[in-house]
Structure 1
Amino acid sequence: MTTLLLGQTLAFTADPFQTDPAGAVRHQTHGAVAVDDGRITDVGPADDLRRAHPQAQVIDHGANLILPGFVDAHVHYPQTAIIASWGKRLIDWLNTYTFPEEARFSDPAHAAATAETYLDLALAHGTTSMCSFATIHPASVDAIFTAGTARGMAVWAGKTCMDRNAPGDLRDTAQSAYDDSKALLDRWHGAGRARYVVTPRFAPTSSPDQLSALGALWSENPDCLMQTHLSEQTDEIAWVRDLFPEARDYLDVYETHGLMGERGLYGHSIHLTERERARLRDVNAAVVHCPTSNTFIGSGLFDMDLARMLRTGLATDTGGGSSFSMLRTMAAAYEVAQLRGQALHPAQLLYLATEGSARALHATDIGRLASGAMADIVVLDLASTPAIAQRHARADTLWEAVFPTIMMGDDRAVAQTYVAGRAML
């Protein structure tokens, strides 16, 4: 049976980093989204769709804004419980908080409980899909895919592989990393909406043999994504230089070991050389901007000009990031860009959090409010708090109405989240 969701609708018709941002969207003040069997079948004026579907169930969201569900392109769901932990630099933060918490995932019950908590928090903030690192424990991958499947969500995830420069209880080997990852890939990749991602944590925690083993696994399964970290902090880059003195730069470490390609996701990518930028562009790889993490851990300021030349996703980087909210993440992206003299339009921010991140994941059926896409949808109340409401009341344009929610909104702004057409809140 067809369901009509009524409200304001906003859909992208072009990439706002490649054209006039304000002209890259189609906005309907009195719009509707038709949903049937978990997919969007039509988007248009409410009156037109009501006439076309006279027997449809109608859910009226009033003046709320209907958007594609948010897509978080780089998270560490095992770090849910340690989000907003005080720390210094990246390596200190990993040793003090991350590694002790990830060691707890040797217990499958702990992994399952954390996956449930994380996904419920994500949905409450309007996030309907994510790409997550797990831990070295295969059960941590099973946990996030099992919880995602129960909710009908599209989830990308992989076993995080480390065989050096990590505590003994968090190290695998080159061979076990390959074997575990292959078994998990065979079990989960393409099972419903689950997608496996080959996942070396980052160059410092993998030996050359392990990087090569994971590169081989990726080459054997080229439809999978590969995710890792790249050039997050300057002291990290210096460490990579010491560990791999023969490499031209950080990215060359990955390329040498078969971990460079179009379906690669390179998180952070802050301190890139011109050669690295050129190589990423040459292979059409994707970078992922993690603004709350980059400021929280003091990593640096991402260059948003990369979004004009590369597929670019946006991410909370839970729990190095300081919020589960993609709204807060958009606000941080705006603030970081301002510090670099790059003023981002609201359309560009919304694009990064939806279709931009979906494109980074090579996903064509999420992140879009369009016929044929999955009905993964977020509905935003544009006057969710007194502070936002008083600013919204003075709005004369769409963007004046939307921007206060981007800058000041949180889970209170999420009126409803739909996954495959099913209301989740």
Structure 2
Amino acid sequence: MTATTLQAYRAGLLHFHADPAFAEHAHAWHEDGLLIVADGKVVAAGDYAQLVGTLPPDTPAADYRGKVITPGFIDVHVHYPQTDMIASPAPGLLPWLEQYTFPTERAFADPSHAAGVAEFFLDELLRCGTTTAMVYCTVHPQSVDAFFTASEARGLRMIAGKVLMDRNCPDFLRDTAESGARETEELIRRWHRHERSLYAITPRFAPTSTEAQMAVTGELANAYPDTFLQTHVSENEAECGWVKTLYPQARSYLDVYDRYGMLRPRAVFGHCIWLDGEDRARMAATGSAAAVCPTSNLFLGSGLFDFEKADQAGMRMALATDVGAGTSFSMLQTMNEAYKVARLKGSYLPALRMFYLSTLGAARSLHLDDTIGSFAAGREADFIVLDPQATPLLARRTANSDSLEELLFALALLGDDRAVAATYSAGRLVHERRD
């Protein structure tokens, strides 16, 4: 391999090979580390002193000493059309949907509007260090086209899909079981595994789909097993009661999806607050994952995710911003809220666990850990550079850190987009902080 095909990055280096909650030696930390990349993929990651001698002379090298390089953050539940309505006041989930969400999403029938929002949304993700996201578009196929066009122009690994809803929504956002399935299939053929794009079959949530639409959605999930599936479940107690009236034959809200064959690997269910033990066991058995959205859940007063019960059941889970009910694109700020939610439920999230849930844990939830989420050789080189001195307070606190855990905890509790010095996608610089 020639020097011109290699790139090297020197910094503190952190990544994971297991879940810190269940493995004693789950992470790799190199205080003076070297990340070597070629052709958009990781070649090696380890101690600088051990690896520097393997580099050919004149290999391009970026010196980030004093900073921390980690895999890029992975946000497993976010709505790009809700960017412009973030921080909208409402007394709860259902009135928030009716007053803000649906009217905002109407504008995405216009491809130029969708393209403009997609550009801003992706810029925000990269500014916050998020290199992969699982994204809800709107009911309009053109909203998906606009999103993937923008993400592919940046060379990003993104997952997205057209929302399906054929009832309990305004006429201007309503499709049909037949049209929704047809448009979804066309979008799968156009975008799934095209460059770095991946498609997610996206029923918004059970109340906005008829049984006919749920049935064809399950058929699509079965017909295209390597696609992703995303939806919402058990977010809000009033919502759970509504689902019970719409699907009285189902044992639980989650069981509605299970009856239509939607629990499977690469299926991600947003929120999962009001699950019971049988629901959690079913999630674990099917390889489905929970998108934990602490900022959104606190904002809407929906409830507190139970990390302890999820762990006891062996559920896959990852952190997510859920913009626009979530109030920040930053996964660091999301960690901040997740920590507090865990404490309120009587459990504890160490910083190492929160960083795992935002990197390798998220990749595992998506069944993409052979592609992204760590610095194992051959993984796609999506990574970020975190600056422990990004703000005066952060610099003062991290100067007094006595351990890696304290350093990461300070970044999680005090950090935000300002702590992201640079973002790389497939080995290419796609964001650099300008002071």
State the Cα distance separating 1:54 from its structure 2 match: 3.1
1:370 CA drift (Å): 1.9
Q: Superposed, which structure 2 residues align to 1:82-231 within 5 Å?
A: 82-231=85-234
Q: CA deviation at 1:85?
A: 1.2
Q: TM-score, normalised by structure 1?
A: 0.98
**Distance in 2 of aligned mates of 1:188 and 1:403:** 38
C-alpha contact 1:383 1:405 (8 A) present in aligned 2: no
Deviation at 1:47, TM superposition (A): 2.4
TM-score w.r.t. length of structure 2: 0.96
Instruction: Give the drift of 1:100.
Output: 0.5
Given residue 243 of structure 2, which amino acid in structure 1 is its aligned partner? V
Distance in 1 between the 2:280 and 2:408 partners? 33
- Contact 1:231/1:237 (8 A) holds in 2: yes
After superposition, residues 5-404 of structure 1 pair within 5 angstroms as 5-20=9-24, 23-55=25-57, 56-305=59-308, 306-307=310-311, 309-363=314-368, 364-404=370-410
Moved beyond 2 Å, runs of 4+: none
Distance in 2 (CA, whole Å) between partners of 1:383 and 1:362 is: 34
In 2, distance between residues paired with 1:14 and 1:109? 43
Relative to 1, partners in 2 of residues 1:13 and 1:252: Cα closer, same or farther, differing over 3 Å? closer
1:10 CA drift (Å): 0.7
Q: Distance in 1 between matches of 2:227 and 2:104?
A: 27
CA-to-partner distance for each residue in 1:57-95, whole Å, 9 max, x for gaps? 110001100000000000101101111111111011111
* Rounded Cα–Cα distance in structure 2 between residues aligned with 1:258 and 1:343: 34
CA deviations on 1:312-334 (whole Å, 9 max, x unpaired) are 11100011101000000011111
Amino acid at match of 2:184: S
Question: Does residue 409 of the first structure (1) align with residue 415 of the second (2)?
Answer: yes
- CA deviation string 1:329-370 (max 9, x = no partner): 011111100101111111100001111111111112111122
1:156-187: CA deviation from partner (whole Å, max 9, x where unpaired): 01100110000000000000010000000010
Any gaps of 5 or more consecutive residues in structure 1? none
Identity across aligned pairs (percent)? 46
> How many residues were matched structurally?
423
Matched, 1:422 2:424: no
- Counterpart residue identity of residue 77, structure 1: Y
Report the RMSD for the aligned CA atoms in angstroms.
1.0
2:412 alignment partner AA: I
AA aligned to 2:290 is V
Structure 2's unaligned 5+ residue stretches are: none
CA contact (8 A) 1:218 1:226 kept: yes
**Displacement, 1:126?**
0.3
**SS of corresponding position for 1:199:** strand
CA contact (8 A) 2:17 2:360 kept: no
Structure 2 counterpart of 1:361, which letter? L
* Aligned residue number for residue 7 of structure 2: 3
Whole-angstrom CA distance in 1 between matches of 2:79 and 2:311: 23
**Does the 8 Å CA contact 1:211/1:259 hold for their aligned counterparts?**
no
Q: In 1, Cα distance between the equivalents of 2:266 and 2:371? A: 17
Cα separation, 2, equivalents of 1:377 and 1:370? 12
Residue 395 of structure 1 aligns to a residue whose secondary structure is: coil
